[in-house]
Amino acid sequence: MRGARVAAGIVPGRGPTRSFDAILFDNDGVLVDTERLYFLANRESLAKVGVSLDQAAYVELFLRNNLGAWQLAEARGVAPETIARLRAERDRRYLELLEHEDILLPEVEPIVRALGRAYRLAIVTSSQPEPFARTHARTGLLPHFEFALTRVDYARSKPHPEPYLRAVERLGLSPDRCLVVEDSERGLAAAKRAGLTCWVIPGALTRGLAFTEADLVLDDLSAVAARLLPGP
């Protein structure tokens, strides 16, 4: 069947495959097309000190291992104060891109609205509060969600399970009643370490990765909705 890769015994098909009470969404790459903008902002800043950051390196450093890339500048002997300046420039450039580029993924708003009628919804993101707020000031998606956890709401980021454990605790549900929708390996790892079912929607930067621990791998959010909402 196009649009699905099956794992962990889940059978694809139209309508619900199992019962959930809540859906926990990653943000960047799942709800909004912002991951590519963060990549561009990092690449531009690092290029100023002669460091080349391509997509493969970005995926490995940011989306698989949560390491960042400033150590590449350190390895070239770039001074700490210069790196601090470049980091601030990167952050400003990212905010600028968020203001002017297209960021809402196709059909996300009506799908989220429909899911919100049947499930409790929350966002669990590694984004800092300011870019997250600026992003959703443009999307108008937040009213559909019960809450959002950003990077300041937990001590240890994905792939550690803490972000999702905190979200489940806040919902007051058992882990088996919650579904996670992710797009990265470290997000998937965080969800599975928290004992949650996780469906993955690979994005432009993560398409082609294995996602072997995923319970289901789908093409897009509409495929998620097709398995969670009754058919016509």
Assess if CATH 3.40.47.10 describes domain 4-34+103-228. no
Preceding amide of 159 cis, omega within 30: yes
Contacts of 114 (CB under 8 A, 6+ apart): 225, 229
| Alpha helix stretches (DSSP H) within the chain | 35-47, 55-58, 70-75, 80-100, 108-118, 129-139, 162-171, 185-193, 221-228
Asked if residues 203 and 181 have their Cβ atoms less than 8 Å apart, the reply is no
The per-residue pLDDT for 54 is 93
Instruction: Map out the domains of the chain as residue ranges.
Output: 4-34+103-228, 38-100
Q: What is the pLDDT of residue 67?
A: 85
Q: What pLDDT shows up at residue 133?
A: 96
Which pLDDT score is estimated for 18?
59
pLDDT at 149: 98
> Which whole-number Å values give the CA distances from 2 to 37, 184, 217, 232, in the listed order?
29, 21, 11, 20
CA 3 – CA 195 distance, rounded (Å): 25
Cα(first)–Cα(last) distance of the chain, in Å? 19
Q: Phi and psi at residue 151, in whole multiples of 5°? A: -60, -20
Low-confidence spans in the chain with pLDDT less than 50: 1-16
Contact indicator for 22, 232 with CB cutoff of 8 Å: no
Per residue in 133-165, pLDDT tens? Answer: 999 999 999 999 999 999 999 999 999 999 999
From the list 1, 37, 2, 3, the residue with the least C-alpha distance to 199 is 3
Q: Return the number of other C-beta atoms located less than 10 Å from residue 110's C-beta.
A: 10
**136 to each of 91, 129, 166, how far by Cα in Å?**
17, 11, 22
CB count within 10 Å of CB 232 equals 4
Q: How far apart are CA 93 and CA 95, in angstroms?
A: 5
pLDDT of residue 6: 40
User: Whose structure tokens read 């993560």?
Assistant: 206
